[in-house]
Amino acid sequence: MKTLLMMTLALAASAVPPPGQEAFATARPGYVFAFPRDHGSHPAFRTEWWYFTGHLWTPDGTRRFGYQLTFFRQASPPSPWKGLPTWRSDQLHLAHAALTDEAGRRLLVDERLDRAGLLAGASETGLEVFQQDWSVAQDAAGSIHLHMTVRGAVLDLALLPSTPPVIFGEDGVSRKGADPSAASHYISFPRLGAAGTLRLPEGGVLAVQGLGWMDHEFSSNQLAPDQVGWDWAGIQLRDGRSLMAYRLRRGDGSQDPFSTLTEVDAKGRLRRSTRAFTLEAEGAWRSPASGATYPLPLRLEAWGERFSLVPILLDQELRTGRSTGITYWEGACRVMDGAGREVGEAYVELTGYAHSLKGRF
């Protein structure tokens, strides 16, 4: 499976589009979003992902879980080779699922890789993505239904957005570097009320409720040549605000000036900062499996506030050798304020520590 992915990505990188044509669409300023269409797939762009995370509790508050379900779509440009249509994979679908069980001190992880067709696909008219028996779909009333299985666990959720879709960036694009093509179209639901059921691998079904987050990005080139990875955090504060921060890391460890922090208030209004924030390590955790060292916990400082993002379980590393081939840390965290009080929840993603992501996004 990994070999197939690497071959396909190599072909995508080496294939030459016809003269005068770009292989893929580019995220450009002035893009006019329309929903529900733009919750769907955009096959003219090289890379797209739908990303769902959240914190869940049993109704009595005695058990806590984190979940991640991410669908990726990776396109290949028109092939320069003729006569081999069965080898040309125009659309690959990849997916990661993870469940963090705080009380059980365990992380359950699974991954998938399929060509578009019977086993995987995404609607171009609205939010409806599936890969084998994993799926997300938005109904006419706006509720998003999520279903995933992971190592014997089964999660079914109804997710209800509390605000209209949030568009991150400026003039319809989220810039990731000095090159104008290093950009994406970035849509989010930063607060999703969540309710559903979780069946545990050992048996027993729990009612669960909590908060979720959805990100949807599509682009053809995100990282600049001197960037090796990113630190990302989606933060849900109990005062009703949500914060999205990403720190783009250069090869020398410095923060790229296109790193961004965005605050979303309870009504969906935005406040942005590019330079007046820091996202730095408060500690370090070394993975016994990959040997990578991650900056955990993380500290975010901006606008006179300071928050610590503390993992509910340190080992939330995903090693996805059978799908994307990327090793990264993705996990549920508590949000602590400067006085040490728990004031919210977060999901944190740390990439480029086990290996560079140059040339992958």
Which residues are within 8 A (CB) of 125 and not within 5 positions of it... i.e. 6 or more apart?
A: 36, 37, 40
Query: Dihedral, CA atoms, 262, 267, 268, 272, nearest 10 degrees?
Result: -30
Q: Quick one: pLDDT at residue 71?
A: 98
Q: How far apart are the first and last CA of the chain?
A: 20
- For residue range 202-247, list pLDDT tens digits in order: 999 999 999 999 999 999 876 777 788 899 999 999 999 999 999 9
Domains in the chain with CATH codes: 2-13+34-350 (2.40.370.10)
Q: Quick one: pLDDT at residue 325?
A: 85
CA distance 189 to 246: 16
Among 356, 351, 307, 314, CA closest to 331: 314
Structural Rg of the chain based on CA atoms:
20
Q: Quick one: pLDDT at residue 119?
A: 95
Provide φ and ψ at 177, rounded to 5°: -175, 175
- Each residue's pLDDT, cut to its tens digit, for the chain (361 residues) gives 333 333 333 334 433 444 344 689 999 999 999 999 999 999 999 999 999 999 999 999 999 999 999 999 998 765 555 444 544 558 899 999 999 999 999 999 999 999 999 999 999 999 999 999 999 999 999 999 999 999 999 999 999 999 999 999 999 999 888 888 889 999 999 999 999 999 999 999 999 999 999 999 999 876 777 788 899 999 999 999 999 999 999 888 888 888 999 999 998 899 998 878 999 999 999 999 999 999 999 999 999 999 999 999 999 999 988 888 889 999 999 999 999 999 999 999 999 998 766 555 5
Q: In terms of DSSP H, where are the helices of the chain?
A: 2-14
The residues with which 42 forms a beta bridge, in sequence order, are: none
Among 74, 75, 77, 86, CA closest to 16: 77
| Residue entry with tokens 């669908």 | 71
Among 36, 110, 5, 29, CA closest to 67: 110
Which residues are within 8 A (CB) of 333 and not within 5 positions of it... i.e. 6 or more apart?
A: 233, 297, 298, 309, 310, 311, 312, 345, 346, 347, 348
